[in-house]
Amino acid sequence: MTDPIADMLTRIRNALAVRKTEVVLPYSKLKFNVAEILRTEGFVRKVEKIAKGTADNRIDQLRIVLKYLGPKEPAIAAIKRISKPGQRVYVTKDNIPVVLNNLGIAIISTSSGLMTNRQARKRGVGGEVICEVY
């Protein structure tokens, strides 16, 4: 797999389309941090790391419990990968994107770690735009 973040976002998008309650995917620190930002911004209910297997052959997984506003309306209307392995998208502190007139968020990888577009603008840092969520 060349782009694990795109795979994560696609799994979330597909699970929301068929009204699943949770998504389980392979664990990585970057995926966990992206999911944590989604949790703190109110797009998903819960994020947890699950350890499976024995101590010698342990496979960690990431479990994301999805959030729905009503019986048929997911909290995430759209989730889109911006920076891809073939075309990286970087922004300076002056060009940080505004997503859906600040109703959505952009997740940006900065030198200070992953943060939302609002946090990056407040701290005055730029970086790589990972994805947009609204």
CATH number for the domain spanning 76: value is 3.30.1490.10
Residue 126: domain span? 4-133
For 60-79, the pLDDT digits (tens) are 999 999 999 988 899 999 99
Q: Which residues contact 77 (CB under 8 A, 6 or more apart)?
A: 134
For 95-126, the pLDDT digits (tens) are 999 999 999 999 999 999 999 999 999 999 99
Mean pLDDT of 32-59: 91
Tell me how many domains the chain contains.
Answer: 1
Sign of CA dihedral 67, 130, 28, 13: positive
Whether pTM exceeds 0.75: yes
Helix (H), strand (E) at residue 4:
helix 4-17
Tell me: pLDDT of 54 over 80: no
Q: What are phi and psi of 102, to 5 degrees?
A: 65, 20
